[in-house]
Amino acid sequence: MQFSSDNARGATYMVACMVGYVLNDAMIKLASADLGLFQTVFLRGGVISLLIGILAWNRGQLLCRLSKQDWRLLGLRIFGELGGTVCFLMALFNMPLANATAIMQAMPLAVTLAAALFLGEAVGWRRYSAILIGFLGVLVIVRPGTEGFTSYSFWAVGALGFLVLRDLTTRRFSEKLPSVFAVLMTSLAATVMGGVASVAVPWNPVTLQSFLLLTAAAVFLLFGYLFSVMAMRVGEIGFVSPFRYTVLIWAIILGYLVFGDVPDGWMLLGSLIVVGMGSYTFYRERQRRAQEGKPDVPPLAGPSAPSTRP
């Protein structure tokens, strides 16, 4: 792998993407002090749906005709996204930002394992070993049964399961399903779910500050999505992909500056294990594709709809 200006741009875009995602999480966590979970999902979903709708209209992808297979897959993707969103936000509302973010960094490992088990993708013993060690790193972060354990960690782990379903179904989309349309349908579904569910719980007054926080969260989320697409279009994926783990740096910094959270040694150790094993799986995937003469494409990414933050 050679360093190039394209690699530098791709890495910069990926870092910018992670900054957008963490700022979204921070805004949501701040708003959670005054708003309920489903109320938050509904209000943020309305804003982000409007922004993505404008983007889809500008690209001529606001409406499209899909096959029955793509509609079924899109339905499964939406189900996975909704479950992942609820689980992740439940964890985010009740545990340090950096800890919730760290657990989610096992996502590439979980998707690699699921792709091997359910899609028959070739995974050698090295990557299986990396997956096992990475999941042990998650246990180090969660630390079940210890004084530092919080049951809300399991919500973050549950989010992993739902988002694996989302990413696996995304991989099966046909080329006729535009990225923006898939993300728009998912965002609209989240908005509807949040609105319906919020009827069953008390509705907290929405202050101007809370609404501005959710609006900022939606803007940062769209910012992260756009830069994730840009990052995958330049440079070598094997070089660019590991920069997604810079999200942990920003989560630790924001967690300390905004919420006063200081990560302990166990959380940092577990994060290093997860990041190391995740980076190794990216490296092994690139090596395998090079040996098979396949193009260097985003590992475990679908052709039409890149993964987005819950």
Contacts 24+ apart (CB under 8 A), 266-269: 266/140, 266/141, 266/143, 266/148, 267/98, 267/99, 267/102, 267/141, 269/137, 269/140
Q: Would you call 257 exposed, middle or buried from its count of C-beta atoms within 10 A (0-12, 13-18, 19+)?
A: exposed
What is residue 26's predicted lDDT score, i.e. its pLDDT? 96
Percent of the chain past pLDDT 90, that is, above it, reads 56
CB 107 within 8 A of CB 21: no
pTM, 2 dp: 0.87
Three-state DSSP state, 15: helix
Average pLDDT, integer, range 78-87 = 94
Three-state DSSP state, 134: helix
Neighbours of 72 (CB within 10 A): 13
Residue 118 has pLDDT above 80, yes or no: yes
Report the alpha-carbon distance of residue 34 to residue 47 in Å, rounded: 18
Residue with tokens 């079924």: 72
- Count, in order, helices (H) and strands (E) of the chain: 12, 0
CA distances to 58, 190, 234 from 36, rounded to whole Å, are 33, 15, 40
Concatenating the DSSP letter of every residue in 233-287 gives HSS-HHHHGGGGGHHHHHHHHHHHHHH-----HHHHHHHHHHHHHHHHHHHHHHH
Residue 269: pLDDT band by 50, 70, 90 thresholds? very high
Residue 147 has pLDDT above 90, yes or no: no
Q: What share of the chain is helix, strand, coil (3-state, %, to 5)?
A: 75, 0, 25
What is residue 294's predicted lDDT score, i.e. its pLDDT? 62
What is residue 31's predicted lDDT score, i.e. its pLDDT? 94
Nearest to 280 by CA among 128, 101, 98: 128
pLDDT digits (tens, 9 = 90+) for 177-223: 887 888 899 999 999 999 999 998 889 999 999 999 999 999 999 89
Q: Would you call 24 exposed, middle or buried from its count of C-beta atoms within 10 A (0-12, 13-18, 19+)?
A: buried
Residue 34 has pLDDT above 50, yes or no: yes
